[in-house]
Structure 1
Amino acid sequence: METATHADPNEHPPKTKRQIFILSGQSNMAGRGGVIKNPHHHPNKRWDGVVPPECHPDPSILRLSAALRWEPAHEPLHTDIDTKKVCGVGPGMCFANAVRRRVGGEFGLVPCAVGGTPMKEWARGEELYENMVKRAKFSVTGDHGGEIKALLWFQGESDTSSEHDAEAYKVNMETLIHNVRQDLNLPSLPIIQVAIASGFEYMEKVREAQKGIELPNVICVDAKGFQLKEDNLHLTLEAQVKLGHMLAEAYLTHFVA
């Protein structure tokens, strides 16, 4: 019986530049699809392990681990990044598969999302922001010659319970976009942000802010109406697959010649 040998993704450069995508924000980007209650065990939640066909691994899709090693990407993508919660399926793998089918090549996903994090924790100088920039910078080092193609951003639910946070959202998001482009030296880095599908009292104010950002190369896709889990906060497995396709369509439509 032959055993398949896979080249170390950290060693050998592929023929074309690795296409890098940063996945960032909070829990709905990290993925709670398929996370279910686990009543008789501690912790009280677990991932059910179901991986839809759209999210299956592929040899051309890698992820940057928390330890800054490239490895084959598979669900849950954020398992060693969003470590305080149980991670399930998010939009990242579905997105990468959908883009791969259209453009080919090798992909590098850089998960950075952490559940329950308000915008103020993503300000320049804060740990989450600095870690995202560090991981993004690392992703293009080495022999493989990767190129950051876009930042996918899904965050804002944590800013909907305070009027102050909701009102500050637009300026704060625009500042984040400016900062990350400056710090990565990518002044026209494509940003695809998701208008939130859930939240608290000031949800519509945050959604308004997200849809009102008019900066070059910033696209907003809307998750409103997507199916939510019983907690009325997190997207279901099916909704995450739908979002992955929507993000891929937005990227291919706006940013692929």
Structure 2
Amino acid sequence: MIYKALVFLLLLTALAPQVQAQNLQPVVRKLQAPPARKEKFQLYLLVGQSNMAGRGQVEAQDTATNPRVLRLNKAGQWELAQDPLHFDKPTAGVGPGLTFGRDMAALDPSVVVGLIPCAVGGSGIDVWQPGAYFPDTQVKPYDEALDRARLAMQQGRLAGIIWHQGETDCTPEKSAAYQQKLRDMIARFRQDLQAPTVPFVAGQLPAFQFTTPGPKGKPQPSPDLTRINRALVQLKHDVGHYEYISTEGTHDRGDQLHFDAAAARLLGHRYAQAMRKLQQSGRSRSH
């Protein structure tokens, strides 16, 4: 019996690093004061559902901190940003937000970036309006995002919004109305936050979701997913200071629904590139 117990303990010790790597979470969250000058604190609102919140597996690179990338935590305090950024569900993991924040900080060394995580897994676009309640997580997504953004804006300047959502709206009835609802939501955020020209970047849905049999049995995106992705493209024609990013080349984590960590980081880079493009074009128009 003693021999078996020793073997079990040795096996447990050998496997411990692997188990820890699979469930790596930040142990310590360090509070950090933002810069005193509001113009030096650029704020970004992260909204949408689970693929913005992130469901990728957290690795060591996702817990490394940067003193110029902060996160507004659930309690409304600023801290050094680490994944998971979001707290909508216990399954929150790696999303695009942290990579996006790091890239935006690298693009302008003179500023500190403040990330405002507000995505809610499973939330359809209908709950992203004033007063709407989402029973799954017992929150009002739009109202709470406004509250958190306004709190952050007491110390910084809203520099952009990134949005990834649409999976819940992949039905014939909902996808047909998606374009108008998203257009209205963008206008509402800008009006309620008194930021009429704040850049807004939306992410398309990935091809691995909601597939249907195509020619020779090869899977292809469903008509509803295709309709939502087309809507995101078409919004460029009638919404100012707006851009979208592609999800081409991304992979799921094995559930055909959520991006894996590598894909989430890739999207973070794409969000930053699109955001920078909008910010630069906005500055050129203002001169």
TM-score (norm 1): 0.84
Q: In structure 2, what residue type is equivalent to 1:19?
A: Q
SS for the counterpart of 1:52 is helix
Indicate the residue corresponding to 1:246 in structure 2.
270
Indicate the residue corresponding to 2:233 in structure 1.
211
> Hey, which bits of structure 1, 4+ residues long, moved more than 2 A?
14-17, 198-201
Q: How many Å separate the matches in 1 of 2:145 and 2:247?
A: 24
Please give the residue correspondences for 1:138-217 in structure 2 after superposition, counting only pairs within 5 Å: 138-141=151-154, 144=155, 146-160=156-170, 162-197=171-206, 198-200=208-210, 201=222, 202-213=224-235, 214=237, 215-217=239-241
Q: How many Å separate the matches in 1 of 2:91 and 2:271?
A: 23
Please state if 1:86 is matched with 2:99: no
Indicate if the aligned counterparts of 2:162 and 2:200 stay in contact, CA closer than 8 A: yes
Q: How many Å separate the matches in 1 of 2:231 and 2:107?
A: 32
Indicate the residue corresponding to 2:10 in structure 1.
none
Structure scoring higher RCO (CA < 8 A, sep ≥ 6) equals 1
Indicate if the aligned counterparts of 1:16 and 1:106 stay in contact, CA closer than 8 A: no
Indicate if the aligned counterparts of 1:124 and 1:176 stay in contact, CA closer than 8 A: no
Please state if 1:18 is matched with 2:35: no
Please give the residue correspondences for 1:51-70 in structure 2 after superposition, counting only pairs within 5 Å: 51-52=60-61, 56-70=64-78
Indicate if the aligned counterparts of 1:51 and 1:75 stay in contact, CA closer than 8 A: no
Please state if 1:95 is matched with 2:100: yes
Q: How many Å separate the matches in 2 of 1:181 and 1:125?
A: 17
Please state if 1:110 is matched with 2:116: yes
Change (3 A) 1:137 1:7: closer
Q: In structure 2, what residue type is equivalent to 1:59?
A: P
SS for the counterpart of 1:110 is strand
Deviations 1:64-98 (A, max 9, x none): 111111111111100x3x12x41111111111111
Q: 1:124 aligns with which of 120, 127, 130?
A: 130
Structure 1 position 16, deviation (Å): 4.9
Structure 1: unaligned runs, 5 residues or longer: 1-5, 35-48
Please give the residue correspondences for 1:27-46 in structure 2 after superposition, counting only pairs within 5 Å: 27-34=50-57
Q: How many Å separate the matches in 2 of 1:91 and 1:7?
A: 22
Indicate the residue corresponding to 2:83 in structure 1.
75
Deviations 1:137-180 (A, max 9, x none): 11111xx4x100000000001101x2111001001000100100
TM-score (norm 2): 0.75
Indicate if the aligned counterparts of 2:167 and 2:205 stay in contact, CA closer than 8 A: yes
Indicate if the aligned counterparts of 2:31 and 2:77 stay in contact, CA closer than 8 A: no
Percent of residue pairs bearing the same amino acid type: 31
Q: CA RMSD in A?
A: 1.9
Indicate the residue corresponding to 2:136 in structure 1.
none
Structure 1 position 7, deviation (Å): 8.3
Q: How many Å separate the matches in 2 of 1:173 and 1:14?
A: 33
Q: How many Å separate the matches in 2 of 1:16 and 1:206?
A: 36
Structure 1 position 15, deviation (Å): 8.0
Indicate if the aligned counterparts of 2:96 and 2:264 stay in contact, CA closer than 8 A: yes
Q: In structure 2, what residue type is equivalent to 1:122?
A: W
Structure 2: unaligned runs, 5 residues or longer: 1-29, 133-139, 211-221
User: Greater Rg, structure 1 or structure 2?
Assistant: 2
Indicate if the aligned counterparts of 2:31 and 2:80 stay in contact, CA closer than 8 A: no
Number of positions where the alignment pairs a residue of Structure 1 with one of Structure 2: 229
SS for the counterpart of 2:93 is coil
